[in-house]
């Protein structure tokens, strides 16, 4: 890899970049099974030619300096170019190379050269065309000059609009059109399309530091100066992209209007091409698409079709984009939408109005679910009416005073432990375990006070707790514990339908064990990873042991609390965390400090044991 002041690049030797990149492209076949052939390295030329070409149609040849990939080699294939002639980075190919390409692919139907309007390309392709005609080949040349950055420029530059000429002429050639017809349509597309770009910086040449430049409107694809420097807000300017798009669109539409005024162009319906100049992320491209399609000036033009946003004609890794407008008619629409082999062509998409929907907050419901909801709503109303008169019973919802007492004890200890758990988490995490667990506890307490918890129906109780934690706890812990209770509630319901006579304690163990297993499945943590599982799993093992050793199947809450406490304390001796933020913390910060999640679980089981002892006494 090459490195510079601006960072590293995935290259070997800078002088071999173009040749090696073309070899990479040539090692793949298009989805239709076709591919490309490369000229031999010993020739000193870099020609890319369709490997399925039979010289029975008009040949389409384009090219220019490299560094604009996927243009032009990436567009060689059925339905687009027949051959691409590639020069060095930002340097036109030689006359001999262009002439060799003409000789290689041109048959009786002739060839069309599609050339960007740069001096080197015009001269080299032009002289090659003259020499080819001298040899008896039928050759035409179309120059694309779609740049509208400089209104008074007598020689506008050829930019991304060149690719629209490739696509339209490729479709015409594929259906057997003649050279004269294809050339006429190519000139019409070249004359009627308009392109304008903007960039935050120039592309970085292989092995060299990036040239420092101010953001510019109309910056050329070889780094040529733009029409004007842009003064943009800083990174905190939330209106920056909106302002940039407005500047680009306003200037583009003005330039395009000058072309329409000077020619016979369709008055309605345009294609918009959004071209990533090489350095935009996928997220940025989608944002640019949204900004463009919602701009009033483009909406007024009538954008019926869109190509991109994709890297199509780049400038190495230039962080910028260009917009191209093309007036449409039925012939152009059909040609642009025709299938083609090169995967670099992203296709044409139609524009559709933005629509929204309101997501359902609940799973698919049955009539019995709705009836149950109606009964629960009435029960809640009755409960609240009684509570207003000092009556605490929850008529209508199954109640169990002992379950409610223990649940309150567990929730209150989490509230009381908020500061302790936050301090413990600050050593190995971001200091919010206590507040996160407290938020979950408050959400469940609120549901309890609002008569939404059925303490006498274990499955319903776990399902409701799962929902409250999902909405009220936040963080990864909230999702994990919500998963635990939700999955446990599902298993409880399955047990009720299959074998409702199993001992209550055993059903709790099986349901919670299933919930923990699902939590591990999604969370990825295991015992010994320094997480709340190191306290929770020992507690469940103690529950199973107590159920097996007592004939009555009584739950030994004290044994569960001792197991959870031992598991939590053991995390203080674990020098490596494998889950959560503490996985990124040095072992020196972990030794001697318990995991805050495990500590929270231990305190909950201790509170449950104290509540059980109080009820028994």
581's tokens: 């933020």
Residue labelled with tokens 């583009």: 252
In this structure, the strands spanning 216-217 and 348-350 are: unpaired
Secondary-structure breakdown of the chain: helix, strand, coil percentages, each rounded to the nearest 5: 50, 15, 35
Cα–Cα distances in angstroms (integers) from residue 98 to residues 107, 124, 168, 577, in the given order: 16, 7, 22, 62
Q: Is the alpha carbon torsion for 576, 582, 586, 592 positive or negative?
A: negative
Cα-Cα-Cα-Cα torsion 504, 505, 507, 513, nearest 10 degrees, comes to 160
What single string gives the DSSP state of each residue in 311-351? ESS--TTBSEEEEEEEE--HHHHHHHHS--S-TT---EEE-
Long-range contacts, 5-13 (Cβ 8 Å, 24+): 5/209, 6/204, 6/209, 6/210, 9/204, 9/206, 9/207, 11/206, 11/207
Q: How far apart are CA 47 and CA 102, in angstroms?
A: 10
Residues 6+ apart with CB under 8 A from 273: 160, 161, 163, 164, 306, 307, 308, 312, 323, 324, 326
For residues 126 and 141, the answer to whether their CB atoms sit within 8 Å is yes
The residues pairing with 81 across neighbouring beta strands, listed in sequence order, are 76
Q: Which two tokens stand for residue 223?
A: 């780094």
Measured at the CA of 277, the angle between CA 271 and CA 283, to 5 degrees, comes to: 80
- C-alpha span between 508 and 488 (Å, rounded): 8
Q: How far apart are CA 419 and CA 432, in angstroms?
A: 9
What are residue 325's phi and psi, to 5 degrees? -110, 135
471 counts as catalytic: no
Two structure tokens written together for 322: 């260009």
**Tokens of residue 549, six digits:** 């050793």
CA 555, chain centre distance (Å)? 49
Q: Compute how many other C-beta atoms are within 10 angstroms of the C-beta atom of residue 495.
A: 19
Q: Would you say the C-alpha torsion 272, 188, 165, 323 has a positive or negative sign?
A: negative
Structure tokens at 108: 């009786």
Geometric angle at alpha carbon 250, from 151 and 217, rounded to 5°? 65
Paired tokens of 586: 């040095």
Q: Give the number of residues written for the chain.
A: 617
Block residue for tokens 């080299």: 124
Peptide bond before residue 70 is cis, with ω within 30 degrees of 0: yes
Encoding tokens for residue 250? 């306003």
Sign of the torsion angle spanned by Cα atoms 452, 453, 454, 459: positive
**How far from chain centre, in Å, is Cα 16?**
33
Angstrom distance (rounded) from CA 140 to CA 275: 28
From 30, 166, 222, 509, the catalytic residue: 222
Catalytic sites, residue numbers: 222
């Amino acid at each position: 890899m090459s490195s510079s002041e601006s960072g590293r690049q995935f290259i070997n030797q800078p002088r071999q970049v173009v040749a090696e990149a073309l070899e990479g492209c040539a090692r793949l076949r298009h989805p239709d099974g076709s591919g490309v052939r490369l000229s031999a390295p010993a020739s000193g030329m870099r020609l890319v030619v369709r490997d399925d070409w039979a010289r029975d149609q008009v040949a389409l040849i384009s090219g220019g300096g490299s560094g604009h990939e996927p243009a032009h080699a990436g567009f060689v294939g059925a339905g687009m170019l027949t051959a691409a002639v590639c020069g060095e980075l930002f340097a036109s190919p030689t006359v001999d190379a262009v002439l060799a390409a003409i000789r290689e692919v041109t048959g009786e139907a002739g060839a069309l050269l599609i050339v960007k309007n740069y001096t080197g390309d015009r001269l080299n392709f032009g002289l090659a065309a003259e020499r080819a005609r001298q040899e008896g080949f039928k050759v035409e040349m179309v120059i694309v000059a779609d740049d509208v950055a400089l209104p008074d420029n007598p020689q506008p530059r050829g930019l991304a609009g060149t690719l629209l000429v490739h696509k339209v002429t490729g479709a015409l050639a594929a259906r057997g059109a003649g050279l004269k017809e294809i050339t006429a349509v190519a000139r019409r597309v070249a004359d009627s399309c308009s392109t304008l770009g903007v960039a935050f910086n120039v592309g970085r040449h292989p092995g060299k530091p990036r040239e420092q430049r101010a953001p510019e409107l109309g910056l050329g694809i070889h780094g040529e100066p733009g029409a004007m420097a842009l003064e943009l807000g800083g990174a905190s300017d939330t209106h920056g992209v909106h302002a940039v798009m407005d500047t680009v669109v306003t200037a583009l539409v003005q330039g395009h209007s000058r072309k329409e005024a000077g020619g016979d162009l369709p008055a309605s319906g345009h294609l918009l091409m959004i071209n990533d100049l090489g350095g935009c992320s996928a997220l940025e491209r989608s944002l640019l698409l949204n900004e463009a399609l919602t701009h009033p000036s483009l909406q007024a033009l009538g954008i019926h079709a869109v190509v991109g946003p994709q890297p199509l004609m780049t400038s190495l890794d230039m962080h910028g984009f260009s917009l191209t407008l093309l007036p449409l008619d039925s012939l152009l629409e059909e040609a642009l939408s025709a299938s083609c082999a090169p995967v670099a062509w992203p296709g044409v998409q139609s524009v559709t109005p933005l629509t929204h929907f309101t997501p359902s907050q609940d799973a698919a419901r049955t009539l019995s679910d709705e009836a149950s909801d109606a009964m629960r709503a009435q029960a809640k109303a009755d409960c609240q009416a009684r509570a207003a008169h000092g009556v605490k019973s929850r008529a209508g919802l199954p109640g169990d005073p002992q379950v409610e007492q223990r649940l309150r004890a567990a929730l209150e200890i989490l509230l009381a432990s908020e500061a302790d758990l936050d301090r413990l988490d600050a050593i190995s995490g971001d200091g919010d375990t206590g507040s996160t667990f407290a938020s979950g506890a408050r959400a469940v307490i609120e549901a309890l006070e609002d008569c939404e918890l059925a303490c006498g129906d274990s499955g319903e109780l776990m399902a409701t707790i799962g929902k409250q934690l999902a909405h009220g706890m936040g963080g990864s812990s909230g999702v994990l514990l919500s998963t635990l209770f939700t999955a446990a509630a599902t298993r409880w319901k399955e047990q009720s339908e299959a074998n409702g006579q199993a001992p209550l304690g055993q059903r709790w163990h099986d349901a919670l064990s299933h919930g923990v297993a699902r939590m591990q499945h999604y969370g990825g943590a295991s015992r010994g990873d320094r997480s709340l599982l190191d306290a929770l799993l020992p507690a469940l093992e103690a529950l199973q042991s107590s159920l097996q050793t007592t004939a009555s199947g009584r739950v030994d809450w004290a044994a569960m609390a001792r197991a959870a406490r031992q598991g939590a304390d053991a995390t203080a001796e674990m020098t490596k965390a494998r889950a959560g933020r503490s996985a990124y913390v040095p072992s020196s910060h972990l030794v001697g400090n318990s995991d805050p999640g495990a500590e929270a679980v231990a305190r909950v089981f201790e509170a449950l044991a104290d509540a059980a002892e109080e009820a028994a006494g």
